[in-house]
């Protein structure tokens, strides 16, 4: 049985959402962050040597890393759905945005989150440079969504699932004025209307306010 080990308010929400979109059978095991440190509890960290979300188990397999988990589930359980084939005209765009989610946007937001905790002066050049990089990443996403309904093009794909966390829940850890990106706001309104997204968020983080605006 495929089991999604979901840490509250974490990138593992992607995996719950993916399973709901694919409508595949899975078990959901929820874990709560420490109320003081906001870190994963010891039983979650024990699942995988890296100690971070997401983690799935599937029979004897334990697998971490968002992109790897998404690709594995699509290939093994999803019959290739929510991914584009190499002969699809939007294949390159799909690949780019799928990897941009964690390779650029989430990475930049994570660095800024750490820098913010250092209480640096507002004019610190490292802080300013990293904030500018986050702005550029958001601007790029906003521009893409001004020309296409979804990141890969006309079709909703796993690239949209990959980027969703960074545009929404990650803002609990790194507040960001999403209002400066109107096409992202319109895109998130469409995402918020997806029944699978609503089911996933209610199952994974019941009662959490969804940062869709």
**What confidence score (pLDDT) does residue 37 get?**
83
Give yes or no for a contact between 176 and 134, defined as CB atoms under 8 angstroms apart: yes
- Contact 174/111 with Cβ under 8 angstroms? no
Q: Which domains does the chain have, with CATH numbers?
A: 2-82 (3.40.30.10), 91-194 (1.20.1050.10)
* Section 121-144 average pLDDT: 95
173-182 confidence digits (pLDDT tens): 999 999 999 9
Of the two residues 112 and 36, the one the predictor is more confident about is 112
Average pLDDT, the chain: 96
Is-contact 38 31, C-beta < 8 A?
A: no
Phi-psi region of 65 (alpha: psi -120 to 50; beta: other; left: phi over 0): left
Q: How far is CA 112 from the centre of its chain?
A: 17
Task: Dump pLDDT digits (tens) for 45-82.
Answer: 999 988 899 999 999 999 999 999 999 999 999 999 99
Identify the CA nearest to 210 among candidates 181, 183, 189.
189
Question: Cα–Cα distance between 206 and 199 in angstroms, integer?
Answer: 10
């Amino acid at each position: 049985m495929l089991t999604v080990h979901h840490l509250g308010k974490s990138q593992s929400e992607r995996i719950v959402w993916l399973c709901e979109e694919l409508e595949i059978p899975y078990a959901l095991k929820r874990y709560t962050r420490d109320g003081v440190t906001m870190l994963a509890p010891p039983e979650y960290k024990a699942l995988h040597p890296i100690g971070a979300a997401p983690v799935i188990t599937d029979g004897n397999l334990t697998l971490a890393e968002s992109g790897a988990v998404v690709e594995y589930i699509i290939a093994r359980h999803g019959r290739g759905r929510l991914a584009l084939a190499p002969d699809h005209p939007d294949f390159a765009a799909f690949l780019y945005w799928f990897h941009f989610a964690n390779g650029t946007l989430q990475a930049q937001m994570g660095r800024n989150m750490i820098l913010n905790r250092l209480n640096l002066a507002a004019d610190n050049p490292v802080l300013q440079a990293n904030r500018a990089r986050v702005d550029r990443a958001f601007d790029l996403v906003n521009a893409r969504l001004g020309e296409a309904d979804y990141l890969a093009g006309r079709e909703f794909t796993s690239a949209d699932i990959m980027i969703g966390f960074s545009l929404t829940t990650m803002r609990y850890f790194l507040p960001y004025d999403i209002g400066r990106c109107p096409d992202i706001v319109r895109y998130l309104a469409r995402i918020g209307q997806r029944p699978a997204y609503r089911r996933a968020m209610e199952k994974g983080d019941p009662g959490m306010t969804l940062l869709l605006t």
